[in-house]
Amino acid sequence: MHELSIVASIVESVTESLAAYPGARVKEVRLRVGALASVVQESLEFCYGIATEGTALEGSVLVVNIVPVVVRCGPCGQDVPLESLQSFRCPRCGAPANDVRQGKELEIEAIEIDEAEETV
């Protein structure tokens, strides 16, 4: 499953960031996922539960922010959001627009951690 390897690498990089905060627990991980990143949000969330088991991320929440697709329209000379992924045309003038400026992201936007020492 594609999403599982994505989540595994997220867990890895979050774990690396945590090295600076010994004993910290992750509460929330926010992802920016482009509408074109070809991942299924539900799968990501499902895999997250599996991949975080036994890690400092266990029990944390994965928040997926879907980033809309923005294309550069030549005739308009502007970046415009696509109205539909079915048609790569400028919603303003109808010109074909294949210059994708945004929408392929797959990155960690923020990590919320709990630094307080807990007695578990």
Chain contacts with Zn ion (rule: CB under 5 A):
73, 75-76, 90, 92-93, 95
In single-letter form, the type of residue at position 58 comes to E
Q: Which is nearer to Zn ion, 23 or 81 (CB)?
A: 81
Closest approach, Cβ 75 to Zn ion, in A, equals: 5
Q: Which is nearer to Zn ion, 61 or 93 (CB)?
A: 93
Spatial contact of 89 and 96, defined as CB atoms under 8 Å apart:
yes
- Distance from CA of residue 24 to its chain's centroid? 22
Q: Which is nearer to Zn ion, 2 or 92 (CB)?
A: 92
Closest approach, Cβ 94 to Zn ion, in A, equals: 7
Q: Which is nearer to Zn ion, 25 or 89 (CB)?
A: 89
Closest approach, Cβ 89 to Zn ion, in A, equals: 8
Alpha-carbon Rg for the chain in angstroms: 18
Closest approach, Cβ 35 to Zn ion, in A, equals: 19
Q: Which 8-state DSSP code applies to residue 46?
A: H
H helices present in 1-120, as ranges: 2-18, 41-51
Q: Name, in order, each residue with C-beta under 8 angstroms of 92's C-beta and a sequence gap of 6 or more.
A: 73, 76, 78, 80
